[in-house]
Structure 1
Amino acid sequence: MEDDNIKDFMQKWFEQFMGRFDRLDKFMDIMSGRHNVLNGERLLDNQDLCQMLNVSKRTLQRYRSAGELTYITIHHKIFYTEKNVEKFIRDHFEEGKYRENKEPSD
């Protein structure tokens, strides 16, 4: 019976210990700037989104100006919430379409 108590105690202690590591890891991600987060939602900046969509910064500006891509500004820097980017992709890109690169004819 005593072995079960020790085992339960050690299990609970280990879970608490690992939980602290998980919280510390999340905190370090936020503080290191690897992931910008607002209200628990990941934020993407212009560079992230340009790479993701394979477009230029000017193209993102056009999407913003046309009201097609929702954004927020924090300290004069533009960010996009992951949820809004997913909505933009669903609304503006077709799934499963493939364009073949045609070689120019001589």
Structure 2
Amino acid sequence: MNIDKMEFVSWMGRIMTRFDIMSEKIKENQNDLNSIDGEQLLDNQDVLQLLKISPRSLQRYRSNKKIPYYTISGKLYYKLSDVHQLIRDSFSKSVRGCS
């Protein structure tokens, strides 16, 4: 089977376009999996990076019920709004402590 270069390039272009479409659909599905009730879920690593804390500190926040979490298939997740609330609470405590 012989095909010329132009036909080959055309076929490869169509294949790459389909890969791009599939990639977008996978990203959409991944975003759906990482959300609950339309709210973004973060895993441990996301929260550690966002708050710039150690894994032990995050464990302490969970144990002290400072941050709600959800276990899905053995993995811990946190609602983004709960993380934001923790930040607001921590900030307001530090402002009150300075008065």
TM-score (norm 1): 0.57
CA RMSD of aligned residues (A): 2.8
Number of equivalenced pairs = 72
Q: Which residue of 2 aligns with 1:42?
A: 40
SS at match of 2:53: coil
Distance 2:64 2:36 in 1: 24
Q: Which residue of 2 aligns with 1:60?
A: 58
Distance 1:69 1:91 in 2: 11
Distance 1:62 1:55 in 2: 11
Greater RCO structure (CA 8 Å; 6+ sep): 2
Give 1:65's aligned amino acid. Answer: S
TM-score (norm 2): 0.61
* Percentage of identical aligned residues: 40
Q: 1:49 to 1:66 in 2, by over 3 A?
A: same
Which consecutive residues of structure 1, in runs of 5 or more, have no partner in the other structure? 1-23, 98-106
Q: 1:58 to 1:32 in 2, by over 3 A?
A: same
Q: Which residue of 2 aligns with 1:16?
A: none
SS at match of 2:87: helix
Which consecutive residues of structure 2, in runs of 5 or more, have no partner in the other structure? 1-21
Q: 1:71 to 1:47 in 2, by over 3 A?
A: same
Distance 1:86 1:26 in 2: 28
